Structure 1
């Protein structure tokens, strides 16, 4: 399935607590920025994470690949995009691009994700359908409409 809209985007300020001894942002902070963007994106789509968890489903990261391009330092602002890439099967990708306010891309993060059935401890077969059925605006997460549940 192709993505339909521009990727979701938020702006974050780099905090002093995000900095390592070399005075640039730690790799863990980059992942936290991406996780925060994904959470905000889900909320912007109208999905209640509380309801998702209550119903026995939990989003999981199965793989994360970070590519660093430039430094990000205290005082910088960073725009973080969140683009969901859907296909067939139990997994999907979430792609993040982190860009300084001056337009320089500082990092990209690519996640392979799934939606875990918390009782069975297995990935559900059609995560796109589950996410879309909970969204008031599925286009925010790259879905056109509510697919039929398997």
Structure 2
């Protein structure tokens, strides 16, 4: 069984305190922008943190890498486009591009999972668990892609 990917975008404006001595966005802030994109993607999919926590679950980042391609400066608008891709295992991909207009300023690659707070282990079928807790399962499918039947 495989799953097609879905995309979601969020917009941010670079703030002065996020920049470094060179006048561009600090390297660590790119990770924060990626996190903002991930949270907004889950929200657009109808998955809020409070219901996840009440169910004893939480998203975890297992791996993340940033590739810096162009500067972002104070006052510039940045669009964070996040693509999520589920497969058949306990982890899933959540990658992002941070753009200024048509220019890709950074790419973020990431591997995530859903942690069971009781067992401290990743849950099997993270897509299914997240979708079951979504306030909008159809919206979840739009944002996160549609699961293809086995044998497709």
**TM exceeding 0.5:** yes
User: Which residue number corresponds to residue 60 of structure 2?
Assistant: 60
TM-score (norm 1): 0.90
User: Which residue number corresponds to residue 47 of structure 1?
Assistant: 47
Which residues of structure 2 form unaligned runs of 5+?
none
The DSSP-based 3-state class of the residue aligned with 1:130 is: helix
RCO comparison, higher one (Cα < 8 Å, 6+): 2
CA deviations on 1:17-55 (whole Å, 9 max, x unpaired) are 110111111121111111111111111111221010111
Which residues of structure 1 form unaligned runs of 5+?
none
TM-score (norm 2): 0.89
Q: Distance in 2 between matches of 1:109 and 1:118?
A: 26
- Root mean square deviation, CA, Å: 1.7
Paired positions, count: 144
Q: CA deviation at 1:8?
A: 0.5
User: Which residue number corresponds to residue 30 of structure 1?
Assistant: 30
Q: Distance in 1 between matches of 2:143 and 2:56?
A: 20
**Mapping for residues 1-150 of structure 1, pairs under 5 Å:** 1-3=3-5, 5=6, 7-101=7-101, 103-135=102-134, 136=136, 137-144=139-146
